[in-house]
Amino acid sequence: MGKNGWLMEQEMIHKQLSEVIGGAAMMLAKCIANDEPHYCLKCGAESNIDSRKEEKKCRKCRSKKVVSTSSLEGVKCAKCENGHFVIDKGFFCVS
């Protein structure tokens, strides 16, 4: 096999490996969940939403008015429509 034949074979192997690795990376990206609990400001439903998605919607009413449950301080409650969320400064959690 000449130099050109060897080079062509190496390029073909590189292309095949790139396709396999690229496909595996895409599959892995789909398998890794990045869900975060969200609260719907319209209907009060709580659901996990992939934080990597550009468009966040409530799974129950499809409203785009959702907020991460870690950012609820001062937000009006959609269920009772009277209260507001506050932070419990005495709560401590270790993960």
pLDDT in tens, 9-21: 878 877 777 777 7
The CA-based diameter of the chain, rounded to the nearest angstrom, is 81
- pLDDT tens figures, 21-46: 766 666 665 555 567 888 999 998 99
- Cα separation, 57 vs 67, in Å, equals 10
Tokens of 22: 């690229």
Count the Cβ atoms, other than its own, within 10 Å of residue 49.
19
- Cα separation, 63 vs 55, in Å, equals 11
Residues 6+ apart with CB under 8 A from 24: none
Return the closest-CA partner of residue 42 out of 85, 76, 71, 82.
76
- Cα separation, 69 vs 27, in Å, equals 29
65 or 51, which is more confident?
A: 65
